[in-house]
Amino acid sequence: MVVDFKLYLITDRKVIKTSLPAAVRLALKGGVRAVQVREKDLPVRELLAIAQELRRITRESNAKLFINDRVDVAVTIEADGIHLGHHSMPSEAVRKIVGKKMLIGVSAHSLTEAVNAEKAGADFITLGPIFMTPTKMQYGEPLGVEVIRIVKQHIRIPVFGLGGIGNTNIAQVMQAKADGIAMISAIFAADDIQRAAELMNRRIGEAVQ
């Protein structure tokens, strides 16, 4: 399994104006090829039901599906990957369960965390928050784009910039040598999700030329 995407779309049903499956369908139509289900407050049975539905939908579009934190759910629905945060099981333990069959993404918030994530066997990291996010300080102080450049000098696995990224600053993040962009609201809070996804994909494409 390889990291063959540059846009990593993370769900948050609280910012979505329609249902989560409908929103994901639109994003897929707009060209998204990797989706992470991050619905931390859902009871596991509800999460499993949503994940199962999103598995069907993403499969139809040949898109990768990741589950945040819940390795049990990821294994059950045959996800393509698992995304781990601070309070998740460590990557080494997760690797014992999923082997090489699944990608492991890890959330990093500093150079040290990025280096540790690579050492622990992550396949890629998200790094952020790069900018102030709409939900302000929930995710900590913004790191700024320079941290991407620095992290890229120390690790080899792909780095996805995350946090407060949208149409106006996506180019800046790619110019700082990010391998890709992870985002929630620039796509899921948009009135036209399909168009927003198309636009973000186009911006990333322009930046890598």
- For residue 139, give every residue at least 6 positions away whose Cβ sits within 8 Å of its Cβ, in sequence order, or none: 128, 129, 133, 163
Closest distance of CB 143 from ligand TZP, Å:
10
Would residue 96 show up in a list of annotated catalytic residues for this protein?
no
Would residue 38 show up in a list of annotated catalytic residues for this protein?
yes
Determine if 164 is a binding residue for ligand TZP (CB under 6 A): yes
**At how many degrees (to 10) do helices 193-208 and 20-29 cross?**
40
Number of residues that bind ligand TZP (CB under 6 A): 13
Binding mask 107-146 for ligand TZP (x = CB under 6 A): ---------------------xx---xx----x-------
Q: Please select the residue that binds ligand TZP; options are 163, 174, 200, 204, rule is CB under 6 A.
A: 163
- The burial class, CB within 10 Å (0-12 / 13-18 / 19+), for 52 is middle
- For residue 191, give every residue at least 6 positions away whose Cβ sits within 8 Å of its Cβ, in sequence order, or none: 17
Closest distance of CB 141 from ligand TZP, Å:
11
Bridge partners (DSSP) listed for residue 133:
136
Would residue 136 show up in a list of annotated catalytic residues for this protein?
yes
The CA radius of gyration of the chain, in Å to the nearest whole number, is 16
Write out the binding residues for ligand TZP, residues 4-43 only, by CB under 6 A. Answer: none
Question: Which residue out of 38, 149, 177, 202 is catalytically annotated?
Answer: 38
Determine if 172 is a binding residue for ligand TZP (CB under 6 A): no
Q: How far apart are CA 105 and CA 136, in angstroms?
A: 24
Interaction site with ligand TZP (CB under 6 A):
128-129, 133-134, 139, 162-165, 183-186
| Active site amino acids | 38, 107, 136
